[in-house]
Amino acid sequence: MKTIATISTPIGSGAIGIIRMSGDKALEIAAKMFTTKKLNSFLEATPNYMYYGTISTSTIKDMVLAVYFKAPASYTGEDLVEFQCHGGIRLVEEIFKGCLENGADVADKGEFTKRAFLNGKISLSDAEGIIDMINAESISAINAGYRLSKGGISDKLSQIQDKILYCVSQLEASLDYPDEMEDESKIDCNKELSQDLIDLKNLLNTSNVGGYIKKGISVAIVGIANVGKSSLLNKLLGRERAIVTNIAGTTRDSIEESIEVNGILLKLIDTAGIRETEDVVESIGVERSLEAAKSSDIVVFITESGRELNSEEKGILEKIKDKKFIKVYNKSDKVAPLSNQNDGIVISAKKGEGIDLLKESIVNTFVTNGIDSSSVVITNQRHAEAIRKAINFIEETLKTLDTQPLELTLVDLRNAYFTLGEITGNCATEDIIDNIFAKFCLGK
């Protein structure tokens, strides 16, 4: 396989720039470019040891750090060399070009991690965990990516695959010796597969929560004009982001900002107050408010403490009644809540009262019992799809075990095995693999 090189740090000026090479010739190419007082030649480099020395290309020189990772104990599983230089854009580029001049090829997006997968260092889902960590926008998303990258899902699915394989071999054997084995192995397989089915369904159930952990929760703050939507947004953010006035119709366009609560990203959308209006701009804003309410994961419906809902508000509630929503009674500092206003959260956006409770309530609506940092959660749509398919195949197997010829049942069972293998990568097609690594950034 060719030796590949790439710039692994973002393009731009920075303290340090990193250039990496992976492949059989990595050490040889590095030795042509890098010299250090410590060694006669970099070919004699001790693995995992960092050397300070000079790098020379046909155009530049720099003082850099170089480290050699010997196959298979490297990220890719191949010989790998990393240069750390001063992080100038042109400087990093010239060192990279130097690697190419000396025999390396340009790496594709994600090619280092792809090689790690092809060399058996990581499973496909482990690699997806690494992308998820890079793209994570919240602590919970980082942690979920980490668990995925550390084999959280591949280990579990491999166990299930092993059990399926055991059933396949049992049933195949009973094809050869039908009289002696058939009934016994059917009972055995039925038991094993029923347990697999429960495990897979439990795993699939985590994918709802998993989606919110990864992407965050979108929260539309909706209500009639002047109830304090923008004041609430500002309080949630901890800064004066939206304009607040006592004039009804202050907010005319939706405003989006994010916060993190218990490690989960909340994407907050402050909206224009909903009311009948002649104003063209405002009425477009009102349409957007309703749109935001419809497309959000949850609506915070805000009204005022100490008064009944008016007909406009009842109209809004009617529109969002099929959505998840939390009622909020604002301005409790001004008027105490009515006795029937115990079906929501009483707050004062002005004084900051009830805000933490509201944040917790939003998150708890989606992620019950917090997030167990050790549990395996499905955060990836591809994985959820494959598990769903595998469940169908196993259900089919269980249904047909007693009624159909074993050969037919075995087709479903093998399909269940292959479908789970698409997640871990042990039965993934080239298309699936290429698709996944195309999502990586250059240099990873």
- 330's contact among ligand GTP, Mg ion, none, with CB below 5 to 8 A by partner kind, is ligand GTP
> Shortest distance, CB of residue 312 to ligand GTP, whole angstroms?
12
Q: Are strands 217-222 and 14-22 parallel, antiparallel or unpaired?
A: unpaired
The one segment of 146-154, 229-237, 370-378, 419-427 that binds ligand GTP by CB under 6 A: 229-237
> Shortest distance, CB of residue 305 to ligand GTP, whole angstroms?
8
Among 98, 145, 210, 228, binds ligand GTP (CB under 6 A): 228
- 349's contact among ligand GTP, Mg ion, none, with CB below 5 to 8 A by partner kind, is ligand GTP
Among 251, 348, 379, 424, binds Mg ion (CB under 5 A): 251
Single-letter residue type at 235: K
Residue carrying structure tokens 């055991």: 166
DSSP 351-390: TTBTHHHHHHHHHHHHSTT---TTS-----HHHHHHHHHH
Q: Does position 246 bind ligand GTP by CB under 6 A?
A: yes
> Shortest distance, CB of residue 82 to ligand GTP, whole angstroms?
52
- 84's contact among ligand GTP, Mg ion, none, with CB below 5 to 8 A by partner kind, is none
- 376's contact among ligand GTP, Mg ion, none, with CB below 5 to 8 A by partner kind, is none
- 296's contact among Mg ion, ligand GTP, none, with CB below 5 to 8 A by partner kind, is none
Q: Does position 225 bind ligand GTP by CB under 6 A?
A: yes
Single-letter residue type at 181: M
Length of the chain: 444
Q: Which residues pair with 4 in a beta bridge?
A: 22, 105
The one segment of 98-106, 137-145, 245-253, 412-420 that binds ligand GTP by CB under 6 A: 245-253
Q: Does position 230 bind Mg ion by CB under 5 A?
A: yes
Residue carrying structure tokens 């050699």: 68
Nearest alpha carbon to residue 170 among 190, 150, 152: 190
150 near 133, Cβ under 8 Å?
Answer: no
User: What is the strand order of the sheet 61-69 is part of?
Assistant: 34-35, 50-56, 61-69, 80-87, 14-22, 4-7, 105-106
> Shortest distance, CB of residue 285 to ligand GTP, whole angstroms?
9
Our CB check for Mg ion shows the closer of 230 and 296 to be 230
Our CB check for ligand GTP shows the closer of 25 and 252 to be 252
- 226's contact among Mg ion, ligand GTP, none, with CB below 5 to 8 A by partner kind, is ligand GTP
Q: Does position 341 bind ligand GTP by CB under 6 A?
A: no
Q: Are strands 105-106 and 80-87 parallel, antiparallel or unpaired?
A: unpaired
Among 331, 359, 383, 444, binds ligand GTP (CB under 6 A): 331
Among 330, 380, 397, 409, binds ligand GTP (CB under 6 A): 330
> Shortest distance, CB of residue 341 to Mg ion, whole angstroms?
22
Q: Does position 234 bind Mg ion by CB under 5 A?
A: no
The one segment of 26-34, 226-234, 376-384, 424-432 that binds ligand GTP by CB under 6 A: 226-234
CB atoms < 10 A from the CB of 241, how many?
A: 16
Give the chain's count of helices (H) and strands (E). 14, 13
d(CA 222, CA 22) in angstroms, rounded, equals 54
- HSE, CB side, 13 Å, CA atoms: give it for residue 425: 24
Q: Does position 348 bind ligand GTP by CB under 6 A?
A: yes
Q: Does position 192 bind ligand GTP by CB under 6 A?
A: no
Q: How many residues sit in the footprint of ligand GTP (CB under 6 A)?
A: 23
What SS3 state is found at 429? coil
Q: Are strands 298-304 and 217-222 parallel, antiparallel or unpaired?
A: parallel
Q: Does position 257 bind ligand GTP by CB under 6 A?
A: no
- Residues between 270 and 289 that touch ligand GTP (CB under 6 A): 272-273
H/E stretch holding 230: helix 229-237
d(CA 341, CA 134) in angstroms, rounded, equals 44
How many whole angstroms from its chain centre is CA 157?
19
What does residue 3 show for φ and ψ, rounded to 5 degrees?
-90, 130
d(CA 43, CA 26) in angstroms, rounded, equals 10
How many whole angstroms from its chain centre is CA 353?
33
Going 195 to 200 to 201 to 203, the CA torsion angle's sign is positive
Our CB check for ligand GTP shows the closer of 121 and 331 to be 331
- 249's contact among Mg ion, ligand GTP, none, with CB below 5 to 8 A by partner kind, is ligand GTP
The one segment of 13-21, 146-154, 191-199, 224-232 that binds Mg ion by CB under 5 A: 224-232
Q: Does position 332 bind Mg ion by CB under 5 A?
A: no
Give the binding site for Mg ion (CB under 5 A): 229-230, 250-251
Give the binding site for ligand GTP (CB under 6 A): 225-231, 244-246, 248-251, 272-273, 330-331, 333-334, 348-350
